[in-house]
Amino acid sequence: MSEKVLLDVSDRIATLTVNNPDKRNAMDQETRTALRDRLDDIDANDDIGVVVLRGKGDSYIAGGDIEAFAEFDRVDALEYLTNYGQGLYNDVADLTKPTIAAIDGYAFGGGLEVSLACDLRVATPDATVGLPEVGLGILPGGGGTQRLAHVAGAGVAKDLIFTGRAVDAEEAATLGIVNRVYEPDEFDDSVRELAETIAANAPLALRLAKESINRGLDDEGGLDFERIACAFLFGTADQQEGAEAFLEKRDPAFEGR
């Protein structure tokens, strides 16, 4: 099993840690495959009651691997979004156990999208969240347009997605994106306590409560449009420019093509 996603299980709480700190835990293909494998194991394990998602080091998850995106054409993008972008985050959302995204550091792009697919989001004051995709010539194609609107409302989703701006933990909590902010020195204990509180409740009741809430939010049409629209953007001149500009550490010059 790849070490890009670590799994620790103790007292009915599983902690998944994305482990690629040199790249700020940006998720490459190896990481995504590892995450899916770990999710399958967790879902099948009745001894696990709650799942916590974290990032190694002082970054949470800086999004998808922009270097790989630079090589994608539309066909690659559609396959990626179906199986791993949206597909993987849908698996997170559909996990039968409650999930908590424990955000310390950067949750950008796919890092925020995977957190929005979790049931709860908690953060340290140092957390920064955002969906910067339009600055890369694409859109949040991992469920972000739908789930951010569900979690925080369409107005907040349009503000964050159209501007691409990052917000700190305090603002994220005010906007309803983050449920709770814990002080850094109490973060691990507070996350654990929250997970334990949830895990002490009846597993079947939790599972069906989660499914009831999620079914009420189901909007397959929105997710499908988002996925196809994002795939369409790959291979445009602006998408190539956006990825190249990031890798060359300069501002992009977009042309609307």
As a whole number of angstroms, the distance between CA 159 and CA 3 comes to 36
- Residue with smaller CB distance to ligand COA, 24 or 32: 24
E strand or H helix at 136? none
Q: Smallest gap, in angstroms, from Cβ of residue 159 to ligand COA?
A: 17
Q: Smallest gap, in angstroms, from Cβ of residue 55 to ligand COA?
A: 11
- Residue with smaller CB distance to ligand COA, 49 or 142: 142
Token pair 């020195």 is found at 185
151 CB neighbour count, 10 Å cutoff: 18
Q: Smallest gap, in angstroms, from Cβ of residue 154 to ligand COA?
A: 21
- Residue with smaller CB distance to ligand COA, 62 or 198: 62
Binding site for ligand COA (CB under 6 A): 23-24, 26, 62-67, 106, 108-109, 132-133, 136
- Residue with smaller CB distance to ligand COA, 148 or 194: 148
Mapping DSSP to helix (H, G, I), strand (E, B) and coil, where does residue 37 land? helix
End-to-end CA, the chain: 42
As a whole number of angstroms, the distance between CA 13 and CA 59 comes to 22
Q: Smallest gap, in angstroms, from Cβ of residue 76 to ligand COA?
A: 15
Please, is 203 exposed, middle or buried when counting C-beta atoms within 10 Å of its C-beta (0-12, 13-18, 19+)? middle
Catalytic machinery residues = 113, 133
Q: What is the largest CA-CA distance in the chain?
A: 55
